[in-house]
Chain A
Amino acid sequence: MSTPTVEKHSAALDAAEADGTQLITVTLRIRRFNPEEHPDPVWVDYQLQMDPKERVLDALNKVKWEQDGTLTYRRSCAHGICGSDAMRINGRNRLACKTLLKDVNPEKPITIEAIKGLAVLKDLIVDMDPFFQAYKDVMPFLITKGNEPTRERLQSQEDRERFDDTTKCILCAACTSSCPVFWNDGQYFGPAAIVNAHRFIFDSRDEGAEQRLEILNDRDGVWRCRTTFNCSEACPRGIEVTKAIQEVKRALVTRRF
């Protein structure tokens, strides 16, 4: 039995199915840095013909593959899952693979630079080690006591929902490198580490919350957060990062989680 349901097309579907031959001229204004060649960064413009529905990553690839092979950035999955290509696009942290050209005003030059607060190593590549160190410092793994059950641990749907938002983190560093506190003090754990602590503190199966809260009670812990919401705006996964940090602060005060 067939049920025709697609008789009427929405304008959005028609637009999605339209042929992508409407190319426009796009200028990428990229902050290049290669200490092998020059000690200072320099802004370089690249002009290219693109379909506005393509990704910023597609434009970077086109530059690298057709104009300048020395342009250097990290990328892998190209659809917002692996977290490789966080960068500052028009002054805001985004994933290049999840940002379409049409959404960043391609009539004007699109500025692209490395994320802030982490040392730039070459072009758009930053040193991720401090970022991952902060993550490791919050003990981002399930901590349990006693004997393991033979089957799975039970968890109600409500308990599972309690920490769902923070399980989405892909460790791209868009949040941490958008945080003005982190820019000024690299020793601050930063939002991403706190998000990953939250993911375990509020997991009903976990018994390590007290230890993690003590770590985050440190002078470089959650109390440095000034609630500017940059992190929430930057998160490409839509995690309510600032809310998660507030919940950790509250747990520190009430010791309830």
Chain B
Amino acid sequence: MQIHQYDTVIVGAGGAGMRAAIESTQRGRTAVLTKLYPTRSHTGAAQGGMCAALANVEEDNWEWHTFDTVKGGDYLVDQDAAEIMCKEAIDAVLDLEKMGLPFSRTDQGRIDQRRFGGHSRNHGEAPVRRSCYAADRTGHMILQTLFQNCVKHGVEFFNEFYVLDLLMNEGKTAGVVAYELATGEIHVFQAKAVVFASGGTGKMFKVTSNAHTLTGDGQAVAYRRGLPLEDMEFFQFHPTGIWRMGILLTEGARGEGGILRNKDGERFMERYAPVMKDLASRDVCSRAIYSEIREGRGCGPDGDHVYLDLTHLPPEQLDAKLPDITEFARTYLGIEPYTDPIPIQPTAHYGMGGIPTNVEGEVLRNNTDIVPGLYAAGEVACVSVHGANRLGTNSLLDINVFGRRAGIAAAEYADNHDYVELPADPGKLVQDLVDGLRESTGTESVSQIRKELQESMDTNASVYRTGDTLKQAVADIAGLRERYKNVAIQDKGMRYNTDLLEAVELGNLLDLAEVLVVSALAREESRGGHFREDFPKRDDVKFMQHTMAYQEVAEDGTTSIRLDYKPVVQTRYQPMERKY
């Protein structure tokens, strides 16, 4: 076991982690621990853009953006955080441009902007051009630009290091424990400040836009150390994933004029969202698609999908603005989007919930108190700027605004504090975990349990939920968790043992899926991405509050979930009925 010491340790090297690292490296000794080479992170898969009220192409201001964010989140957004994000969005975009990001440009050479779902002029009057973009590769450009700037600033990366435990002593942050993929060795990183920026957990679903690696590792580690997870029942299903594969096709396609159509060729969104139509928020579009399918207007032999139609757009426009997604249609479906509509279905995309933080990125241990020295930013965290449903482009904004804030706050904290003493035998939990898996003689397979988890989640905890489906998911997950205790792996080696890590990741997914469905079962209302057919209305009296889920461990080692609730921060917007 090796022991390292750094002022600040950042866990994860996607957009939030690298944005934080650029700040903290300039202020103190920083290590970035990442299970992937930084440029493999899923920030790179984001496509459509990053909204900021630059007003480069039409009138706009950050207050309208804030309103859209609060409304898009179905009033579960903490409005103070949304104000900060939308105000700082402008500098966040300009900072990226100065770092070298090659944005698409207007005729005047300024950063171009386009329409995006839920983003409107003057509180919902009409769609507004707010999304700053680089073709349909905005996430790729952000990831590359941040990595380039990490190279420039000499950020120290530990590539293919999996963080499997968080160390605390008397309630303060002491460091993390990581498993080195190349050697199987355990490393303890003592740190004054730790920033979790390890991304989301979409792989608990079968049809998802998420990478294989998005297994909620940071959330699971924090949760097992007694920290709460906030609003985990709110999971976003992006309306336009490639049918059955789930590969993302950007909302920017509809921002450029693309239309959703059912089997009759009807532009059905006109019935669901008369003003914003195809650019209504994602939860609204995804529910509309499934309503069309359920009512027999789905496309294809089984009527189980609808079309994203780009055929009326000029090929030059598709080539210039949507080159990657049109190539995906060609590569994976063998169709030509110039002339054929693209079969799509909603795809599990983004967790609005996560490790609760305040606007400085400090992690909360309960409704009011922070964990000294611990920070989180990006999809792993819940500030909450996305509330019950995230607006398109606001995730790229979130990682830049709150990644930066967390990086600065962590480095400043480290500058003013000493190391906290490591707990006794700091690597024990991780050593026991990996030894247990290596030595297991069980009979259950990782892939079989994962497959059953994903199928249950797709069936029971997707766009439409009921008490019955959620109870089924709770029961399914309980059974799978029991079987997981008897899981075994085939690779017993030390070197690049990805078999072992897939088993660890499955354990994370199971814990987080349980939190999701238990939180969802308790929320007897419909709000944003959480839609209960048995409670189809929003209930602001009972449920305009954040869910806080804690793991409780009994004396015999069995675990259960305790739910608590936290008030929503309201500043200027009173809840209204949500129409698009």
A interface residues, Cβ below 8 angstroms from B: 1-7, 9-10, 12-13, 15-20, 34-37, 53, 64-66, 68-70, 72-84, 98, 100, 121-123, 125, 128, 132, 135-136, 139-142, 148, 151-157, 159-160, 163-164, 167-171, 200, 203, 205-206
Contacts and interface: CB of A to CB of B under 8 A. Distances in A.
Nearest to B36: A76
Contact of B137 (A53, A65, A79, A168): A168
A104 B432 CA distance: 44
B109 interface: yes
Nearest to B497: A72
Contacts of B211: 76-78, 82
B299 A15 contact: no
Contacts of A84: 36-37, 40
A65 B93 CA distance: 42
A203 B105 CA distance: 13
Given A34-B493, A80-B331, A1 B267 contact: yes
Q: Which 10 A-B pairs have the closest CB atoms?
A: A4-B265, A142-B100, A65-B447, A69-B490, A154-B109, A69-B499, A2-B266, A141-B152, A141-B148, A17-B300
Contacts of B102: 160, 163-164, 167, 203
B265 A7 contact: yes
Contacts of A167: 102, 134, 137, 141, 144
Contact of B104 (A10, A66, A79, A160): A160
Nearest to B154: A136
B105 A160 contact: yes
A75 to B, nearest CB: 6
Given A76-B211, A82-B39, A142-B100, 19 more contacts: A2-B265, A12-B336, A15-B334, A16-B333, A19-B302, A68-B490, A69-B446, A70-B493, A77-B44, A78-B247, A121-B496, A132-B37, A148-B98, A151-B94, A154-B108, A157-B107, A167-B137, A169-B144, A203-B102
B45 interface: yes
Interface of B: 36-37, 39-42, 44-45, 93-94, 97-100, 102-111, 134, 137, 140-141, 144, 148-149, 151-152, 182, 211-213, 243-245, 247, 261, 263-268, 270, 299-302, 305, 307, 309, 311-312, 324, 328, 331-336, 339-341, 343, 445-447, 489-491, 493-499
A34 B333 CA distance: 36
Q: Which of B37, B99, B104, B244 has the most CB of A within 10 A?
A: B37
Given A3-B265, A4-B266, A170-B140, A78 B212 contact: yes
A124 to B, nearest CB: 10
Q: Is the interface of B mostly helix, strand, loop or mixed?
A: loop
B493 A77 contact: no
B270 A121 contact: no
A122 B446 contact: no
A73 B498 CA distance: 8
A82 B44 contact: yes
Among B137, B446, B498: residue with most chain A CB under 10 A: B498
B185 to A, nearest CB: 14
Contacts of A68: 490
22 contacts: A2-B261, A3-B267, A5-B312, A10-B335, A13-B343, A17-B299, A53-B334, A68-B490, A72-B498, A73-B498, A74-B40, A75-B212, A79-B247, A81-B45, A82-B41, A132-B37, A152-B94, A155-B109, A168-B137, A171-B37, A203-B102, A205-B100
A155 B40 contact: no
Contacts of A79: 45, 245, 247, 328, 332
Nearest to B245: A79
Contacts of B299: 6, 17
B482 to A, nearest CB: 21
Contacts of B309: 5-6
A159 B270 CA distance: 40
A19 B301 contact: yes
A127 B206 CA distance: 32
Nearest to A125: B496
B417 to A, nearest CB: 32
A66 B341 CA distance: 35
B36 A5 contact: no
B151 A98 contact: no
B45 A77 contact: yes
A152 B101 CA distance: 10
B501 to A, nearest CB: 11
B335 A16 contact: yes
B40 A83 contact: yes
A85 to B, nearest CB: 10
B494 A36 contact: yes
A121 B247 contact: no
Contacts of A141: 99-100, 148-149, 151-152
Contacts of A80: 328, 331
A223 to B, nearest CB: 25
A178 to B, nearest CB: 19
B140 A81 contact: yes
Contacts of B312: 5
B357 to A, nearest CB: 26
Chain B CB within 10 Å, residue with most, of A64, A82, A139:
A82
Contact of A16 (B45, B148, B152, B343): B343
A6 B495 contact: no
A150 to B, nearest CB: 8
Contacts of A76: 36, 40, 42, 211-213
Contact of A72 (B94, B108, B340, B496): B496
Contacts of A36: 493-495
Nearest to A157: B105
A141 to B, nearest CB: 4
A171 B38 CA distance: 11
A161 to B, nearest CB: 9
B206 to A, nearest CB: 13
Contacts of A169: 144
A157 B102 CA distance: 11
B403 to A, nearest CB: 18
B182 A70 contact: no
A159 to B, nearest CB: 8
B97 to A, nearest CB: 4
Contacts of A171: 37, 39
Contacts of A35: 495
A125 B40 CA distance: 15
A82 B35 CA distance: 13
A98 B331 contact: yes
